[in-house]
Structure 1
């Protein structure tokens, strides 16, 4: 039944079964079940152990089917549980909290608009050592325990009431003692719970089922009902015939799997949900009904009146106007954010010579100077060098450009500013920029100068073990994707402290010092390739909740902008990006996945790490590194594209209810809606490469789109845009 939380011992406790029960003819079997999670922050520190825990309520909309036909949905209902306590859930939304100040019972009153933990009773202290039990869990009306000597005991609310009105617990006699081999097995198990008159244990990937001839007697020899669940760390049952397991949640991405069966469990849904972290307490019913066909709703219905139907797809882009000047622009600042005025800006083509080994000088496209406010702009020449024009044409008409400023502070510290932007080059056949190039170009970045490395620096490259400790490795390991914006700075050889700053040099903060540009002659850079790697990169995301199906198309060619990372040592920051529009062969995305589905989609892109040396007047002034995305490249034996992170947590009723009403629309049964113009949201953590996490965004067109197709159940399928109305520029849309 309910999962048990052994906070003090660190054991993952869960329920054991009460005596067999049979639903009476008059009993109504529910088709939903409440599931509660006592959240524990992954990677617990000692300080976390002394922090009150959060109990969060979920609703299982298909407990009988093991999540095969409806989702497990997180609600907005939470409550705090003291860190000094242990909590057990019993039948009917009742909880016992065992604390230093005694035992109290609570009930889930959210259905009536009350709190998740509404006080019910206070119990007298009769000397039962609740906080020192090795394991503690519930089975029907009983609280079952195993102490540190292996003694197995059961308790129930006694009929005796103290003069002060407090209730008491009484022992239930006749249970097997510590010598019972079955009790020893249960004690040693990783997790234990109960449902339908049986006790289940999870240990080393195996689930065993224990029964008693009668309640209170010795356990019979167990039956193995499932094996091979090697990554499962806990289990629970909403009722007889259903078992859920959850994987470890070191990165907030615990995966829940559903099984059904009696003597042998079979997979019902290998991915009921992800993003679960903490210890599960389940409200176990004596019988369960099939899932409802209705949309899963938790809480007060949202105001969804006057919402428009979604068009088949947004209006097409307007025809591009006359070709104007090809301008690239940006803003450079000092480290403290003040303008970097009067700096010489070197503008180069980023992509040329990317395929050549050894050292190359990127073609110079022009130079300019920053204005008083740090801004700069440059109109590219009408006649580009042949190799530059060829690279732009092969890149869908987008020319990737780098802009560099450099100089020294008043204390003699070399500084560098590195930006990366995109120019739209006209298509010779139409004399207009392509839609991809026009969408990718035009961004203006504000870029802070940073301390540079000496020109003769040999940059230390991180080991695989060091890369495994980084922010990028944490993001890559997450099955639910990046949940927040990446930090400004990342280290490629360790987890970087949030207070890191590159501006303290030899004990002096140089962020506000004036920077004098190098003034001796022509400036240029020399680029040397250090290493190349292939990393699967997020380029799409589809959503299909209740009675719907998701499609992500990423066909025919690249259409993605990826961060460029820059470094003057072992720390890195994103600084603009490169847009990739070249041919990618047969990458196709995924089609009609759902219901209750939401996944990102990834393709393999080759990334190269370069060392740059900056020269002025023929003198090497400084050096730095860059990580730059390049061509689509399938590794030997690898996938042309693959499923990425599970992002179902972005969908559902509560997220719909919290969305701006102006962003909402609905898809009529049997019809579809798709995004096929504009630009997607930027996915943080889209790729992890060389120990650095990079973001990416995709340009939508007829070959790159997000689509949802509604099923034909009664009712409508609601969607909403992340950044705008769905027929505007939403970037991404979600589903309920």
Structure 2
């Protein structure tokens, strides 16, 4: 019998490797299944000071197919109908992630687990419990003959342990099994040396526990080569956080968060010997286009902030369901107290009235003399006045409609930073607000969902993932706070589509007869984001006071709809953020804000009909008892690196000199669509950059390559929103 897991003389002479490809069969709920490529840049240390780098390269791999790796860029795929095929990862030379090599056919669906150690053996665990061992001719080609040479019975202790494990993989001549923890009993990773002999079990040496303390949510493991083990969860119901372990004979934790968003089966390309890369080498993850020109050096602009347009006016636009202007409808403007700390009925001062113009727009000047309660609230909110505009109408068939928009203004003599906050809030909410029908279900008060019901919402479920996948993409138009995204058309009333119907003022109108704050809870909300690739470190400062605009939402019937925003400028008397995190680090930063739900009662149609609407909005910065003053948010490192840099507009690029820094402290951040999930609904937010609210990068002393950065929305000295790192 040939010796097991041998390496050719050429392989044996190879230098130890870094930059090992790691592949994840991403089965994240709601996304198209793909094979996703990461790069393990420093596998020998388990990336003790780095992370798995998302290459951004993917290939389609359906949910019912499986894969494993064979080393040398060879990827084995078992198709949904059981055929075994090999592919080559050619992305390093500009080719495909799954370049077809050979079709072996067969029926490999009879195996529960199939894996390779990167040499000339493939292991396949039968559904019945036996372990089949196959030899592979010319494993580095992906086209050599495959034949079964051994079948180990399920009664073999090692085979039985493999069958009971949550995951199994190999690195060279060692088979690893992972058993997750159960309740208060931690799990472990065990190593099983494999040595073929003429007689007896190849696992005669038994096992050694190499990793202790594996958690209850850890179900996946892999190795890029000898001496390093990684573990992670395998579905979005778990953290998706990868950990690394190194050492001998027992491995110790090297990095408690070496990757994020690792959902699905994972296999590394495998190397017979691992190395740490030179600190002076910048990671190159594929065939990159050489630069034809050098971008400008990034310069910290210390010039005074420009004076923004004087935002002393509340304004907005209302439209009908089909986008036509909602013209000639009365608008009522009322103050909202985002800093009220009590539950129960509240008094809401009126701030003005008007009628929508022919294009659906409206404007109301901020009163020169404000009611005392509004004046006190604004003073505690940095001078910002938050308000809600409400408009009512009805179709010719007497179907009532309502539209709301939360808006912001500031006095002409307010500080420049306050006026800038208000101007940014207007920029965030440029889209007009749609009127929605007041349906019969709104004539009944709706019960407050339980925490378990909130947990079933689209927003709550997406919050369980550790990677920000939304970025600044638009949120769904409607959300449910207790389930998936609504699919029914809100403009179909009693079987009739009312979108195209003419709408005029409501006969008899509607009067607000009650307003009650009935629920409040603290949720951590994204207010910053930093990026540090390669040799850099990231800093996010959110100091002294709130300086953010957070979306509001209104529930009409069973659907929540974003209806504007509130601007928060109140004093915090604290400093929060993170400093000098990196390299290979990119995360959001969140602060605790108190969110409140308001029930508003209206009497309409000369008082004959009663309707209830519900509003949600952010308020004061408030640290929960025993809670964190700020928290790390989702991982955003996938937006860094060479692939995204070379796709960025050239005018957005710049570089940072070694041992220097660059920071943004003007204009505003990007608007994070997934800034918070509050009461089962996802809301967006943005932050005003100034001397107390910054994104900063500090580079190291290496000079072999420059550290590049680029703005998302503009050049870094303009209005980039956020800058990324390479």
When the two structures are superposed, what TM-score results if normalisation uses the length of structure 1? 0.88
Residue of 95, 116, 125 corresponding to 1:114:
95
Shift in alpha-carbon separation, 1:391–1:302, aligned structure 2, 3 A: farther
The CA deviation string for residues 133-187 of structure 1, in whole angstroms up to 9 with x for no partner, is: 232211311112222332222112369xxxxxx96433334x6433311111112
Unaligned stretches of 5+ in structure 1?
A: 1-16, 160-165
Cα–Cα, structure 1 residues 533 and 82, in superposed 2: closer, same or farther, change >3 Å?
A: closer
How far apart are 1:25 and its partner, in Å?
7.9
Query: Who is 1:64 aligned against?
Result: 44
Tell which deviates more after alignment, 620-629 or 284-293. Answer: 620-629
> Following TM superposition, by how much is the alpha carbon of 1:316 offset from its aligned partner in structure 2, in angstroms?
3.3
Secondary structure in 2 matching 1:254: coil
Match of 2:188 in 1: 206
Q: Which residue of 1 aligns with 2:456?
A: 469
The question of whether the paired residues in 2 share the 8 Å contact of 1:609 and 1:628 is answered with yes
Matches for 1:276-675 after TM superposition, within 5 Å: 276-293=262-279, 294-304=281-291, 305-313=293-301, 315-319=303-307, 326-351=312-337, 354-355=340-341, 357-427=343-413, 434-440=419-425, 444-452=430-438, 457-483=444-470, 484-497=473-486, 499-518=487-506, 526-614=514-602, 619=607, 622-675=611-664
**Mean Cα deviation higher: 518-527 or 715-724:** 518-527
**Structure 1: distance between partners of 2:189 and 2:66:** 25
Cα gap change, 1:248 to 1:147, in 2 (>3 Å) = closer
Cα separation, 1, equivalents of 2:554 and 2:662: 39
Gaps of 5+ in 2: 181-186
Paired with 1:436 and 1:418, the residues of 2 have a C-alpha distance of 21
Give me the whole-angstrom Cα distance separating, in 1, the residues matched to 2:446 and 2:636. Answer: 37
SS at match of 2:459: helix
Change in Cα spacing, 1:353 to 1:621, as seen in structure 2 (3 Å) is farther
Distance 2:37 2:469 in 1: 23
Find 1:169's aligned residue among 141, 146, 156: 146
**TM superposition shift of 1:356:** 5.0
CA 1:107 to 1:616, structure 2 compared with 1: closer, same or farther past 3 Å?
A: closer
Deviations 1:610-640 (A, max 9, x none): 1112357984764311012111111111111
1:718 aligns with 2:697: no
Match of 2:162 in 1: 186
Deviations along 1:104-145, one digit per CA (max 9) or x if unpaired, are 43333333443333344455x7xx653312322113111122
CA separation in 2, counterparts of 1:325 and 1:106? 60
1:228 alignment partner in structure 2: 213
Q: C-alpha root-mean-square deviation of aligned residues, in Å?
A: 2.9
Deviations 1:385-407 (A, max 9, x none): 23222222221121112111113
2:112 matches 1:156: no
State whether structure 2 residue 144 is matched by structure 1 residue 144.
no
Give secondary structure in 2 for the equivalent of 1:184.
helix
- Could you give the per-residue CA deviations for residues 174-217 of structure 1, whole angstroms, max 9, x where no partner exists? x6433311111112211111124211101123100111455674
C-alpha distance after superposition, 1:63-112 (max 9, x if no partner): 11112244322335444457775443212122344555954433333334
Partners in 2 of 1:524 and 1:121 — Cα distance?
Answer: 72
SS at match of 1:182: helix
Q: Report if aligned partners of 2:21, 2:37 keep a CA contact under 8 Å in 1.
A: yes
Corresponding residue number in structure 1 for 2:721: 731
Instruction: Tell me if structure 1 keeps the 8 A contact 2:598–2:614.
Output: yes
Matches for 1:92-131 after TM superposition, within 5 Å: 92-98=72-78, 103-123=84-104, 129-131=107-109
Map of 1:8 onto structure 2: none
Distance 1:341 1:65, change over 3 A: same
Deviation at 1:646, TM superposition (A): 1.5
Classify the secondary structure of the residue corresponding to 2:202: coil
Distance 1:325 1:262 in 2: 65
Q: CA deviation at 1:259?
A: 1.1
Give deviations 1:701-722, integer Å, cap 9, x for gaps.
Answer: 1111111111112232111111
User: In the alignment, which residue of structure 2 is the partner of 1:684?
Assistant: 673
Please tell me whether the aligned partners of residues 539 and 602 of structure 1 are also in contact (alpha carbons under 8 angstroms): yes
Q: How many Å apart are 1:268 and its aligned residue?
A: 1.3
Shift of 1:369: 0.7
- Name which of 35, 40, 49 aligns with 1:55: 35
1:134 correspondence with 2:103 = no
Name the CA distance, whole Å, in 2 between partners of 1:57 and 1:504: 45
Query: Which structure 2 residues correspond to residues 70-81 of structure 1 after superposition, within 5 A?
Result: 70-81=50-61
Q: In structure 1, which of residues 237, 247, 258 is the aligned counterpart of residue 233 of structure 2?
A: 247
Aligned partner of 1:9 in structure 2 is none
